[in-house]
Amino acid sequence: MSKVVVSLPKGMVKNSVIGGVLALAAYVLTQFLWALLIDRGLLGFESLYPLVCASAGAASFLGCGYSLLRGTSRTALSVPVVVVVFLTLTLAAAFLTADAVSLGGGLTGVGLSMAAGGLLAALIGGRLPKQKRGRGKRRPRRTKRN
């Protein structure tokens, strides 16, 4: 049997990992903001879960957007990678800080928000104009002379 070799665009893994870390940083910063606003009494505690889902979607959008803009091609191939990196880092932090993590605790909604943010970034990134590869001045085509 022959192996199928998939060629990934140059720098896709690096941009995806940076996008995932950027998404995690934005997510943590917004969580600190929500905690501060709830502690000061500006927001009610019941609004925490919708805010967590909104910040997960926005952070995922930011990370996936970074990955799409930094990539050499406008393919949406890096978007699922960024979402998986972001979700993995978030779950790792949850396992390190909590005794148990369950799907009933809102993890499904946060994961779907992350996926929705990535999908939105992919839809917007697909509509951006493709980058032209500038290799200097183009020469005019030679024509046959009689």
Q: Cβ distance 18 to 85 under 8 Å?
A: no
Domain membership of residue 73 (yes or no) is: yes
140 in a structural domain: no
Tell me the residue range of the domain where 112 lies.
Answer: 12-123
pLDDT of residue 139: 66
pLDDT of the chain, 146 residues: tens digit per residue: 556 556 656 677 788 888 888 988 999 999 999 889 989 888 888 888 888 889 989 998 898 888 888 776 556 677 787 888 888 888 887 778 877 666 666 777 888 888 888 888 888 877 766 655 555 566 667 777 76
User: Can you give the pLDDT at residue 3?
Assistant: 61
**Residue 107 in domain:** yes
Residue 4 located in a structural domain: no
Of the candidates 92, 74, 122, the one whose C-alpha atom is nearest the C-alpha of residue 24 is: 92
- Is 142 a member of any domain? no
Task: Evaluate whether residue 132 is within a structural domain.
Answer: no
Q: Given this model, what pLDDT does residue 118 score?
A: 83
**What pLDDT is stored for residue 19 in this prediction?**
84
pLDDT at 25: 92
Q: Whole-structure pTM over 0.95, yes or no?
A: no
Beta strands in 1-146 (DSSP E): none
Give every CB contact of residue 43 below 8 A, 6+ residues apart in sequence.
Answer: 34, 37, 51
pLDDT for position 69: 81
CB 67 within 8 A of CB 124: no
CA distance 34 to 78: 29
Total domain count, the chain: 1
